[in-house]
Structure 1
């Protein structure tokens, strides 16, 4: 089975933390270096969109009831990646604007985000349903061959709650983002920043850990060992 949810997870984590930082600059009315941020959103967006779209249309995660991962990882990644690419294009095209008056640039940015926030909110709704699905069906339990997380495989609800909470906190941020922009309640954006920082850090740490645990899982399977840590 081919898996690359490690790269998806760390890239999603970086994208969430990065966008939260960008949003903080807007809220604090600090100058934005648009070319650098366009490059950041372009790299993270391209990776997420390419890997997410490939996962969505080819379903590389298969067998033993693991097919749900194609939906839970692939589709949100493709949607988030497309949004980051859009942000990259916008920031690159508006370089002159960000070199000018800070207040004008930030005001126009928030106005430009309003139509996009509709899709952000709908994507957040999908993430919320995925969060419920993780817990309701107790998905995500690691096989016994996987180090660290495999030690808790006999407690499927434990990892289901972790994954549901992770997807859920990102969903809350996405829904708040849409509400804040569409109703001009911009103070809510501060809560968006916190949810995406926490969710982004968790995604990054989760993905980084999976580099170790997934390599260990394949090593255990290939060599008939049961290394637990």
Structure 2
């Protein structure tokens, strides 16, 4: 089975943290290097969009009831990647604006985010439903061959709660972002920053850990070893 949810999780975590830090700088009126942020959003967005679309249309996660991962991982990654690419294009095309102005820049940027916020809210709704789905069907349990996570595979509710909570906190941030932007309540965006920083850090650490656990899983399967840690 081909898997690359490790880099998808790492890029998602980095992307969420980046968006949160960018938003925090914007709300505080700090000067923003739009070219640097455009490059960051472009790189992370391209990775997520390409791998997310590939997962969505080819379903590389297959067999033994694991097909749900193509939906839960691939489709949100593709959508988030597309949003990051939009942010990269906007920041690059408007780099002179960000260079010249600091006063009133927040209002201009938040106004420009209104159309995209509709899709952010829609994606947040989808993530919320996925969070419920993880818990309802107790999805995500690691196979016994996988180090660390596999030790708790006999308790599927644990990983289901972890994944549901992770998807859920990102969903709360997305729904709150859409509400704050569309109703003109920028003071609510500080809670969006916190939700996406927390979710981003967890995604980043989870993806990094999976580089170890997934390689260990394949090693255990291929060589008949029994590494648990």
Whether 2:218 is the aligned partner of 1:218: answer: yes
1:148 corresponding residue in structure 2:
148
Q: Distance in 1 between matches of 2:58 and 2:105?
A: 41
Q: Secondary structure at the match of 1:219?
A: helix
**Following superposition of structure 1 onto structure 2, how do residues 131-146 of structure 1 map, counting pairs within 5 Å?**
131-146=131-146
The CA deviation string for residues 145-192 of structure 1, in whole angstroms up to 9 with x for no partner, is 000000000000000000000000000000000000000111110000
Q: CA deviation at 1:35?
A: 0.3
In 1, Cα distance between equivalents of 2:99 and 2:13: 28
Aligned-residue CA RMSD in angstroms? Answer: 0.5
Deviation per CA, 1:24-77, whole angstroms, max 9, x where unpaired? 011000110000000000000000000000000000000000000000000000
Unaligned runs of 5+ in 2: none
Helix, strand or coil: the match of 2:3? coil
SS at match of 2:62: coil
Structure 1 ranges of 4+ moved more than 6 A: none
1:99 corresponds to:
99
Alignment TM-score, normalising by the size of structure 2: 0.99
Distance 1:226 1:75 in 2: 33
Q: Name the structure 2 match of 1:29.
A: 29
1:19 correspondence with 2:19: yes
Count matched residues. Answer: 229
The aligned counterpart of 2:68 is: 68
Partner of 1:167: 167
Unaligned runs of 5+ in 1: none
Q: Deviations over 1:68-124 (max 9, x none)?
A: 000000000000000000000000000110111212322211100011100000000
Taking structure 1 as the reference length, the TM-score comes to: 0.99
Asked if 1:52 corresponds to 2:52, the answer is: yes
